[in-house]
Amino acid sequence: MCATKVTADTLKRLQPIGSLSQARLEELREVCYVDSAGPNIDPFATRGIAGEAVYLLAGELALTYQDGAALVIVGGTEEARHPLGRRGAFVAAKAVTDVELLRLDEELLDVLVTWDEVAAVEAASPAVGETPSLTNWSIMSGMFSVSSLKYGAFSQLPPAHIDELLKRFRRIQVSKGDAIIREGAEGDFYYVIESGKCRVERTIGGVSMLLAELKAGDAFGEEALVFDAKRNATVVMKTDGALLRLDKKDFVALLREPLLRQVSMDAARQKIAAGGQWIDVRYPSEYQYDRLPGAVSVPLSEIRNAFALLDKEREYVVYCQSGRRSAAAAFLLAQRGFRAFLLAGGLWAARGRAAS
C-alpha cells in the first residue's frame, strides 16, 4: 500500500494533489498505491488508467500518442508532477528503466480538490455580512473524511450545495456538562463535533443508560430531523469543546435530500440480486415476524454499532414498515460513507403495490 511507500511530502510535489492540505495528504497515503514495472514492460498491459490519476514517481517511461508523437517522461521532473495522459490519450507505453507509478482514484481526487477549494475560498473571502469559514473542513475525521467522500453520497453533492453547506454551519462553544439536546424535545439542529467529546444517553425504565460516546468529527441529531420526530436521546458534553450547528431547514435542503437515495422495490431487488444486502431496522420482534428473505436485523438504535461490521464496497437497501425509521438509518449510513439506499415507502408501500 502507498501508506508504506509514499510520504506526504512526495504527494505534495504532485499536481493537483499538492494543493490539498497536509491532513488530506496524510489521509490519501492510505487510499493510493504504487505499481512497479521493469524495463521493456508495458505497465498498463493488464490494467489501464481508466478512472485513475496515475503519476510516474521514479524511472523513465516512453509514451506513444495517436498522432505518432513519442515522449519519454522521467520521474522527478516537472512533467512527472502531473498525471500521465494530460497531453492526451496515449496508445502505447513502455518502461525504459525500472519504474514506479502511483495510482489514485480520479473521481476521489476531484471531489477532494472541490471540497477543499470551496472551503479555502470561504475562509479567505466571505461575502459581505457572512461569517468566515468556521473550520478546516479537510481535517474533519467523520462526515468529511476521505472515506466518506470516496464511498458516500457526499461525492454526489453539487458544488453549490458544498458552498452553501460550509456557509450555513455555525460554531458554538460548549462546556463540560452542557446538555446539547434532550430526549423528548423537538428536533431543531444538526451537529458536528469540531473539538471535544460528548456522551449519548437514553432513559430506560427510569434509568439513564449510556448509548455511545462521540468524538471530534462525529455528527449527531440527525434522526429527529430526517423524519420529523422528537429527540430519542440526550447528548451531554463530556468535555469542553466546540460544535458546528446546522439549522433544520438547511439540513433538510442541503444534506437530507441529497443523501437519502430512494429506490423502488423492483430496483431494490435488482441491487440485492447483484450482491447487495437488505437491512431491517425495525425491532427484533418485527423482524422475526415478517422479514424480507436474506435480510439482516440491525435495529435503528443499534445502527451506529454496526458501522465497523459493514462493507463499504457493498450496497445496502434499508427498510422498515413506513420508511421513517429506515430513512434515519439510511442517512446515518450514507453520512458515514456507506452505499445505502432507502426502500421508498417501506414495506407498507411495497405490499400495497403488490396487492393492487
Q: What is the pLDDT of residues 160-183, one digit of tens each?
A: 777 787 788 888 999 999 999 999
For position 67, what pLDDT does the model report? 85
For position 94, what pLDDT does the model report? 96
For position 139, what pLDDT does the model report? 46
State the total domains in the chain: 3
* Residues 169 and 223 occupy one common structural domain: yes
**Is residue 53 within 8 Å of 104, Cβ to Cβ?**
yes
Residues 6 or more apart in contact with residue 192 via CB below 8 angstroms: 140, 142, 143, 169, 217, 218, 219, 243, 244, 246
pTM given for the model = 0.64
- Is residue 17 domain-resident? yes
- Crossing angle of helices 159-168 and 106-124, in 10° steps, is 40
Query: Could you confirm whether 32 is annotated as catalytic?
Result: no
Please report, for the domain that includes residue 26, its CATH number: 2.60.120.10
Which of 255, 277, 311 is at the close of a domain?
255
- Is residue 122 domain-resident? no
For position 142, what pLDDT does the model report? 55
User: What residue numbers bound the domain in which 48 lies?
Assistant: 2-107
Q: In what order do the strands lie in the sheet with 339-343?
A: 262-263, 339-343, 315-319, 277-280, 296-297
**Is residue 222 within 8 Å of 269, Cβ to Cβ?**
no
- Is residue 132 domain-resident? no
The residue ranges of the chain whose pLDDT is under 50 are 1-4, 127-135, 138-139, 141, 353-356
- Is residue 331 domain-resident? yes
Please report, for the domain that includes residue 273, its CATH number: 3.40.250.10
For position 147, what pLDDT does the model report? 67
* Residues 36 and 99 occupy one common structural domain: yes
- pLDDT mean across residues, the chain: 85
Which of 237, 255, 273 is at the close of a domain?
255
* Residues 247 and 172 occupy one common structural domain: yes
- Is residue 57 domain-resident? yes
* Residues 236 and 271 occupy one common structural domain: no
- Is residue 66 domain-resident? yes
* Residues 82 and 166 occupy one common structural domain: no
Tell me the pLDDT tens digit for each residue of 72-84: 999 999 999 999 9
**Is residue 45 within 8 Å of 70, Cβ to Cβ?**
no
Active-site position among 2, 32, 198, 320: 320
For position 266, what pLDDT does the model report? 95
